[in-house]
Every structure is written in structure tokens, then in C-alpha cells.
Amino acid sequence: MRIWKCMLICSLLYLLTLPVESYTYPEGYTNYIILNLSIMPEIIEYGGKASGFIYLTDVNGKPVLAEDDVRIQLSHSSDIVSIPDEVVIKANDFYTVFEIETKGIGEA
């Protein structure tokens, strides 16, 4: 099993303002897989809950299926937000969903 690690630094304000954007690769590069993060709803009120989505795409934004399980380690400020320490995109899938629960007010 191939293990991919990605540290996502999350705080309440960071989550609220995080756009779903990806790194722009030089022209001609098409073999990259991009790890994307989005949150629904985009605005989370104090003490509220939301769903986080992490998904794989190619440079054109098309979904890419994971060949193996992809383990993603998440980091966060535990006094501001509660999220799992790790999520997994299963083999032959392109996304995973996790719960986000806000606890306090913080700064990004």
C-alpha cells in the first residue's frame, strides 16, 4: 500500500476563507494529481458542524481514481476545530468526506 501524507493546517478562520484552488503547473505538465479540499457549508458558525471533502483531480479538474488507499494526515488547532487526525481515500475512489465541528474562535 502506498501511503501519501499531506499536512493540512486547519483553523476555523482558515477553513472559512479557504478557496478551492490548486497549484498551477507549467504548461505541458499533465501527469500531476492534485489534492483538493472543500467545505460544505462554506461558512461555519461558532459551535456549528460542516462536512469536509478531500478529493483527487488531474490538472484539468477531472476526478482521478486512487490506485491504492491514500492516507491523508490532518493537523488542526484542537481548541478551535475538531477534525479526524487522518482520513483515507479508498482505492478506486476519488474522494473522502469527514466531519468538522467548531469549538472556539481563532485566527488564521
Condensed to tens digits (0 to 9), the pLDDT of residues 78-91 reads 888 899 999 999 99
User: Does 56 reside within a domain?
Assistant: yes
User: Does 13 reside within a domain?
Assistant: yes
* pLDDT in the model for residue 25: 53
The stretch 54-73 carries a mean pLDDT of 91
User: Does 2 reside within a domain?
Assistant: no
Question: What does pLDDT average to over the chain?
Answer: 75
User: Does 108 reside within a domain?
Assistant: no
pTM of the model: 0.66
DSSP 14-78: HHHH-----PPPPTT-----EEEEEEESSS--TT-EEEEEEEEE-TTS-B---SS-EEEEEEE-T
* pLDDT in the model for residue 27: 63
Q: DSSP assignment, residue 12?
A: H
User: Does 36 reside within a domain?
Assistant: yes
Name the percent of the chain lying above pLDDT 70: 67
Return the sign of the alpha-carbon dihedral for residues 101, 83, 108, 105. positive
- Domain total for the chain? 1
Q: Which domain holds residue 62?
A: 8-22+29-102
User: Does 107 reside within a domain?
Assistant: no
**pLDDT value at 24 more than 70:** no
